[in-house]
Homo-oligomer: A and B are copies of this chain.
Amino acid sequence: MAGLASLQAALGHEFSDASLLEQALTHRSHSAKHNERLEFLGDSVLNFVVASLLFERFTKIDEGDLSRLRASLVKQASLADIATRLSLSQYLRLGEGELKSGGFRRPSILADALEALFAAVFLDGGFDAARKVIARQYESILVNVDPKTLGKDPKTLLQELLQARKLDLPLYTVVATHGAAHNQMFEVECQIPKLDIKVSAGGSSRRAAEQSAAQLAIAAIDALTPAKGSGRSRARKSAQLSLPVAVSQETK
């Protein structure tokens, strides 16, 4: 475990009770005083703080959209990204087995430890301290949130994109399946005849393959309409969609 001063600096919180920090970083494979109870508490303080940040920032959007945005911001992949930015893996305390199998890189372990850290800050410094630490990690993320698109899956986004241009819905066709029944791969084609677009993608389920194909179709539409011609807003949308995080949620 690396020295914890740099982690505390990155979080913006210096612990009065270092044992809380240590426990938050301890996986159950390491010792009995592990971080799972803290994770329970941290999950809920995180959910609340992100809810209140969104509530303040987006005063016009309804509760359904607020829920979608929050789900996207607190999902495992988003938390693992933050944990990676904090270099959390080098501070984790894992058991032998998890260490050898590379557990310090597992998104679930990273995300759980991050939630536990937030709880540790809350227990150590109270709610305002936890809110400050969480807000700091989400500051740069919130600036780039597009409330119209974040957290929507590629098929929904593609449909909305086409409807905005008054074009027909895309056509999805399974063009091939590979492998045995218990381990099938589906190849799906997505066609948008009016735009002369035909792309295909694979996935372990029909739904997953359709989502990946929709993602490619969106990229193809973006390629047809250069950013400088299509205005600010679409350019920003397409930049977001090309983030790997947005896809991985749907294609797994």
Contacts and interface: CB of A to CB of B under 8 A. Distances in A.
Interface of A: 36-37, 39-41, 44-45, 47-48, 51-52, 55, 62-63, 66-67, 122, 127-128, 131
Contacts of A127: 127-128, 131
Contacts of A66: 37, 40
Given A39-B63, A45-B48, A52-B122, 18 more contacts: A36-B62, A37-B55, A37-B62, A37-B66, A40-B51, A40-B55, A40-B63, A40-B66, A40-B67, A41-B51, A41-B55, A44-B48, A44-B51, A45-B51, A45-B52, A47-B47, A47-B48, A127-B131
A198 to B, nearest CB: 41
A153 to B, nearest CB: 21
Nearest to A42: B51
How many copies of the shown chain assemble into the complex?
2
A127 B37 CA distance: 22
14 contacts: A36-B62, A37-B66, A39-B63, A40-B66, A40-B67, A44-B44, A44-B47, A44-B51, A44-B52, A45-B48, A45-B52, A47-B47, A47-B48, A127-B131
A169 B131 CA distance: 48
Contacts of A51: 40-41, 44-45
Interface on chain A toward B: helix, strand, loop, or mixed SS? helix
Contacts of A52: 41, 44-45, 122
A44 B122 CA distance: 16
Contacts of A48: 44-45, 47-48
A208 B221 CA distance: 50
Nearest to A127: B127
Nearest to A122: B52
Contacts of A131: 127
Contacts of A36: 62-63
A239 B66 CA distance: 40
A36 B62 CA distance: 8
A246 B62 CA distance: 33
Contacts of A37: 55, 62-63, 66
Contacts of A128: 127
A44 to B, nearest CB: 4
Contacts of A47: 44, 47-48
